[in-house]
Structures are given as structure tokens and as C-alpha cells.
Structure 1
Amino acid sequence: MVINYIKCHGTGNIFYLIDEVNKVLIEEKEKSDFSIMVCNSDKNADGVLFIGKGDRGIAKMRIFNSDGSEAEMCGNGLRCAGRYSGEVFHLNEFSFDTLKEQYYINIKKSDIPNLPNVEVEIGNISTDVKSIPIEGFDNKVFNEKLFVLSKELLYTAVSVSNPHLVTITDSIEWDVMEEQGELIKKHKELFPKGINLSFLKIINENEVFVRTYERGVGFTKSCGTGMMSAVLNYCLNNPHLFDKRIKVYNDGGMVLITVKREEDDLYSATFEGNASYIESGKIIYEIDSLSIKKESEYLDEKEAYFKLLEIKDKKLKI
């Protein structure tokens, strides 16, 4: 079978996008193994986006991680899926479905030429621990110590359809995060469905840096829902920052996030960042084999993304 693909990324979070709106190409029972094979063939890929028929929105995104697990939601993937679907349906504003929720997409213009920008409106962000879940807590986990991970750090749990554990720290070290990410896997009695882990470092009041150890993936250059969860925790600790735009840097670039308080334990956010194409081509797929044939590259978008990285590096003085 020959399958058309677009390789894309949101702030360095790389996906292979497969259009199944008009026809299912990869059967349900094969999607997990197919995604593993794609990511094994391209070690830079974090997952596969399948774009299918919408339930209520114009289309629906499903995302499978590099280990074959299906995630409920992915903010960076949703921007890429939103850009693609907007081009296909010739729309700039529309609703879009994921596994559990419906979101609203706005195709935006960037200050950097050839850097496609997409804004996602995210609702139903919750701190209700039952929606995550974490065992042993009745209501919420807010600035709590979890001694199985650390004796010093304070953690907050957030659901953005998928589960997140976030903390604010002055130091974001790769080895510390990896150690805690692996401990999460071992403590299924506490995290029965696993959980994404994000550390946030404050640059100044309106600018922060976030790094995520992602469930089912490990380290990625960025995690959209991880950044949203981290910024929500930042606002909960600094309530005057609700409704204010926060610039969030990560290893893959920068996004803009505004968090709003809707009611007790329920929040919403707008989330804007790049949705860039890298290349397009064909995947030659059989049940026991897969190869990827690149046919074209999006060099103008690649150059624009490098400009974004230069801005980020200058800000962080890398």
C-alpha cells in the first residue's frame, strides 16, 4: 500500500500526518503498529496524526505516539492538523474534534514570513484529580509534595483531556526530569494511566520556559498540553496573570498562551504557535515492512522556523 504523508511540526514536536477523511487507509487494529514502524523508520518523529471524519467539527484528529499508545490530545499536533484541515476545507475558523473533546481553530498570521501560525481555543481544562487520575487524593493536587518523585518540589495535577503533572522550579535538568518520568512509570498504584511531567522556569513575569517528559514518548522539543498545564499552574500561583498572554519558550521554539478561569476547578486557554510543514512524500506499507520516500521539502518554512529559534536562543542567551 502506498500512503501520502505530510511531515510537520509544532515547535519541534514532529509528526507524520495521514489524511483519512475520505477513506480509512490504516485499519484500526493496525494503527498502533503502523505508528511504531513510522517512528522507528524516522527517529525524529514523535508520533502519527490520523485526520478522519469529524463528529461535530470539520474533521477529527487521532494521535498515536512513537510507542504505539494513543493520546487523548496533543496541542502541537492539533495545530498541525488544524492548519492542514483549514487548507483542505478552505476555512480560517472552524471547530475540530479530538478523541474526547471539540476545539476551535483560528488560522493566524505570524510576524515571521512563511511561519504558519495557528491558534487553538482549549476548553474543559480541569484540576479535578478524578479526571487525571492520581490515586490517594480526593479533590485536587495543588502544590503538593509527591515523595515518590521528589522531597523538595511541589506538584500540581491538570487535565487537558490528557493528564499532566507540573511544577515550578529554578532548575530544569534533563537527568532529574528523566529520573522522575521513569519513576512515574513504576508507580502505577499512584498514576494508573501514567502522566506527563512538565517543569516551568520563570524568565520574567510574562515569559517562562517549559520542558516536558511526555508519557509514551519521553523528551520532545515541546509538548503543547504540557505548556498549557504548566502555565495554568503558574497562574494559579499568581492569580493576577489570568487573562494575560504568557510567552512560553521551549526547546523547540515559542508559543503564546492565555489562561482563563471559568469556574472552580475548570479553566480554558488560547494557545498560539507555529504549524510548519517539513516535507511530503509516500509511505510504502505492508503488514511486516514500511519505508518512507521523501518527494518534496518546504524549505521556506524551514528557514522561517530557524528564525524563530534564533529569537528563542537570543532570549535565553543560548
Structure 2
Amino acid sequence: MKFSKMHGTGNDYVYVNGFEEQIENPHEVAIKVSDRHFGIGADGLIIIMPSEVADFRMRMFNADGSEGKMCGNGTRCIGKYVYDNKLTDKKVVTLETLGGIKTLQLQVEADKVVSALVDMGEAILSSSLIPVASALPEFINQPLLIANTEYKVTCVSMGNPHAIVYVADVDAIEIEKVGPLFENNALFPERINTEFVRVIDATNIQMRVWERGSGETLACGTGACASVVASVLNGFCAYDTPVRVHLRGGILEITYKKDGRVLMQGPATHVFDGEISL
């Protein structure tokens, strides 16, 4: 199987051209290639495929083999892959995902994509759609007891579910202990991605993320989007104002529009190409 290793702010995936490669067992392949000791090493597997409703279609699989609905950093890297590899000459590309159709505006330098602005669509706040097992119509700044500690949680879906928690010191969080307790809590019937956020000021926040199925990653595009949405809803940031999200892998710029749409701007980086026997 031929592949490309790419990352968006350190959130790295193995990318496969599904126009040429046929993967019969992507769940198993994702586990194999993601292994950082015995495989290629990645947060998961992304397959770029034909679409009947958009320019391209993505399927993404987490490191544990589970299929995810969306990957914000992955969308930008797909934009780079299809343009740099001449699968398209368009600088505005539509992408079909299980979380809806996303529109990518590609920033090109020297005939290579360096970054992309992605219209991530509208943030979903309905508890039943995220989903959150709560009678509340929206789950904003609500208490949740985890390991005898009460956290205030705001839940947002960006095509995949997120729980945003505000903390005084992001670096001090024992994320490998706390992350799985959030991920597998009964409140979240489809598990949850958890963002631990410190508000720096009205246009800057710091974030660490525990992704369902992958553990801690250096960045999460949908998580950065959800965190800015939550920060606006909780009064820390403002609508229609770009917010810089400081992740362990770099910085993403997120804007939560008053009409509910979320825009994400960030880099896309090619690491290397290769071939692996399955």
C-alpha cells in the first residue's frame, strides 16, 4: 500500500489515495499503520475517495481502528494532498465527510498548498445530537463529577462530539488518567473528545486534547473549533473574532460566526511518502 505521512499542527495521519488503493479492512489497517513502534506511526488513517456529492470524500479511522466522523486537521491535509498531487487544480475544494460537506480554501505558494481555510459548517449545541445523555436541551457550563472532582463542562459537536473543560493550568492536567474517564463516561453514549482549556485573553486560548480512540494528540482541529465555540458561549471570547488556539503542535486560528458557522485556518504539512506491506 502506497501512502503519504502528513500532519496538521502535529496531528499526524497516514493518507492513502483511495482512487488507486483498495483497502478491504481499513479498521485493521488503521491499527497497524498507527502503531508508533511496529507501524508507520500516526494518530490514525485517512482514505481519500471519490464522492458523488463533493469533489472528494474522506474516511478517517482512529488509532484504535474506530471510524471517526470528522478530522479538522485531516481536512486541511487532504486539501494539500489532492492539489499537490494534481488530483485537482481548484483552490476551493469541497469534501464529503460523515460530519457533512466541508469547503476548503487552499493557500498556495510555489505551486504547493501551505495552509487552508476550512468552513467547518455550523456548531451543533443540541444535547441529543452531540450526543449527551442529558435532559437539558444544551449542555453548557454544567457540572460533571470525575474521580471525585467536579468539572464544569460545555459540550459541542463539530460533526464529532467534544466536551470542553476550563482549567487554571493546562500543563498540570494528568490527561492520561483523566482523559479516559471523560471519554468513557456514561453521559456520552458515543464516547467523547475532551479539551482542557485555559483562557489567556479574549483572542487567545491554550488547549490540550484527549481524543476518543487515539489518546492525547498534539492537536485537534474540530476540538479547537469546539473550544472557541464554548469560549464564546461562556463569555470568554466574542463572535466574529478570530481566536488563536495554542496547541502542543502549533497554533490554529478559529472564528465562530454569529450565524453559527465555524471557520478554521491552519497549516498542512507533508512529511514523507512510502509503501508498506499489509
State if a TM-score over 0.5 links the two structures: yes
Paired residue for 2:65, among 63, 68, 86?
A: 68
Could you list the runs of 5+ residues in structure 1 that have no partner in the other structure? 286-318
Mapped pair 1:77 → 2:51: no
- Structure 2 distance, partners of 1:43, 1:24, is 17
Q: Which moved more, 1:91-100 or 1:156-165?
A: 91-100
Aligned residues: 273
CA distance in 2, matches of 1:129, 1:279: 41
Give the superposed CA RMSD: 2.0
Q: 1:159 aligns with which of 157, 160, 163?
A: 157
Residue matched to 2:92: 93
Q: CA deviation at 1:240?
A: 6.2
Instruction: Tell me which protein shows more helix as a share of its residues.
Output: 1
Is 1:108 the equivalent of 2:91? no
- CA offsets 1:41-100 (integer angstroms, 9 cap, x no match): 347410111000113111101101110001000101111012212332111112111123
Partner in structure 2 of residue 144 of structure 1: 142
1:185 Cα shift?
A: 4.4
TM-superposed CA distance for 1:186, in Å, is 4.3
Gaps of 5+ in 2: none
With normalisation by structure 1, the TM-score equals 0.81
**Distance of 1:151 and 1:184 partners within structure 2:** 12
Q: Which has the larger radius of gyration?
A: 1
- 1:280 matched to 2:273? The reply is yes
- CA–CA distance in 2 between the matches of 1:156 and 1:251? 22
Percent identity of the aligned residues? 29
Matched-pair contact (CA < 8 Å) for 2:99–2:160: no
For residues 250 and 115 of structure 1, what CA distance do their matches in structure 2 show?
22
- 207, 210, 227: which one aligns with 1:210: 207
Cα distance in 2 for partners of 1:231, 1:161 equals 15
1:115 deviates by 7.8
Q: 1:201 to 1:184 in 2, by over 3 A?
A: closer
Query: Against the structure 1 CA distance between its residues 205 and 109, is the aligned structure 2 distance closer, same or farther, given a 3 Å change threshold?
Result: farther
Q: CA deviation at 1:182?
A: 1.7
Contact 1:145–1:151 (Cα < 8 Å) also in 2:
no
- In the alignment, the residues of structure 1 paired with residue 14 and residue 31 of structure 2 have an alpha-carbon distance, to the nearest angstrom, of 12
**Which deviates more, 66-75 or 131-140?**
131-140
2:223 matched to 1:230?
A: no
Q: Structure 1 residues 139 and 233 mapped into 2: Cα distance closer, same or farther (>3 Å)?
A: same
Contact 2:209 2:217 in 1 (8 A): yes
Q: Alpha carbons of 1:146 and 1:123: their partners in 2 closer, same or farther (altered >3 Å)?
A: same
1:243 is the counterpart of 2:237: no
> What CA distance in whole angstroms lies between the structure 2 residues aligned with 1:229 and 1:254?
15
**Contact 1:20–1:53, Cα closer than 8 Å, also in 2:** yes
Q: For residues 48 and 217 of structure 1, what CA distance do their matches in structure 2 show?
A: 11
Residue 203 of structure 1: how far off its partner (Å): 2.1
- The answer to whether the 8 Å contact 1:127/1:140 transfers is yes
Paired residue for 1:39?
34
What is the Cα deviation at residue 201 of structure 1? Answer: 1.1
